[in-house]
Structure 1
Amino acid sequence: MGKFSAEYLQSKLSDAKVHFERALDCKHTEFDDLYPYMIEHPQFFWYKRYVAWSELLTIVKLCDELEFAWSEQFSQKQAEYIASRVMSSRVLDEWYETNDSKEHVG
């Protein structure tokens, strides 16, 4: 198999970022379709965010291994959160830099 193209990695990274941000904003993701019975579960949104965060970290790890610069798609603070790998309450609360300039996905 040939090398991954930069465009391919960029696309996968962007998809993973959008997926995480949709989960963060409690918007519909593929996870809702995969586990519709969980929507009533009180921990559903936590699971959904965990899955999206894990996907984002996996894509970033792949980018690192292939020496593809991934951090340019994120703010400095977001890149620091990703590099620390821990999805803390701070990541959830402060992913969007300020309340005034939230760039929530549509």
Structure 2
Amino acid sequence: MGNEIPADFFKTKLSEAKIHFERALDCKHTEFDDLYPYMIEHPQFFWYKRYVAWSELLTIVKLCEELGEEWQQLFSQQQIEYIQKRVMSSKVLDYWFETNDSKEHVG
């Protein structure tokens, strides 16, 4: 009949969305670059790439909340506050990593 959703499905998707957003913040390669390679030549590209990754992260968080899945354990308290405000402000762009326990950007 229907397919069962693996227990760690949302945790995996949330982790992937977090990594995608962090790679976009660091201006590293993401699958978005493969989808729109011509945009690299345009100045607005990095802003748009970050916006897309932020939207993806917020969408996964919203699904987790609606389904009662835990999502906050992957984020610092400051990052949780940014996500709950939902607005990708310059503060989010500038300080996303500042409160991260590891203080390292994704590889």
TM-score range (shorter-chain normalised) is over 0.9
Q: Tell me which residue corresponds to 1:61.
A: 62
1:47-71 deviation per Cα after TM superposition (whole angstroms, max 9, x unaligned): 0000000000000000001101101
CA distance in 2, matches of 1:93, 1:62: 26
Q: How many residues align?
A: 105
SS of 1:39's equivalent in the other structure is helix
Matched, 1:78 2:79: yes
Alignment of 1:1-106 (within 5 A): 1=2, 4-97=5-98, 102-106=103-107
User: How far apart are residue 2 of structure 1 and its match?
Assistant: 5.4
Aligned residues with identical type, % of pairs? 75
CA distance in 2, matches of 1:2, 1:12: 17
Q: 1:28 to 1:41 in 2, by over 3 A?
A: same
Structure 2 gaps of 5+ residues are: none
Runs of 4 or more, structure 1, over 2 Å off, are 1-6
Q: If the length of structure 1 is used for normalisation, what is the TM-score?
A: 0.92
Amino acid at match of 2:46: F
User: How far apart are residue 4 of structure 1 and its match?
Assistant: 3.6
SS of 2:18's equivalent in the other structure is helix
User: How far apart are residue 6 of structure 1 and its match?
Assistant: 3.4
User: How far apart are residue 3 of structure 1 and its match?
Assistant: 5.9
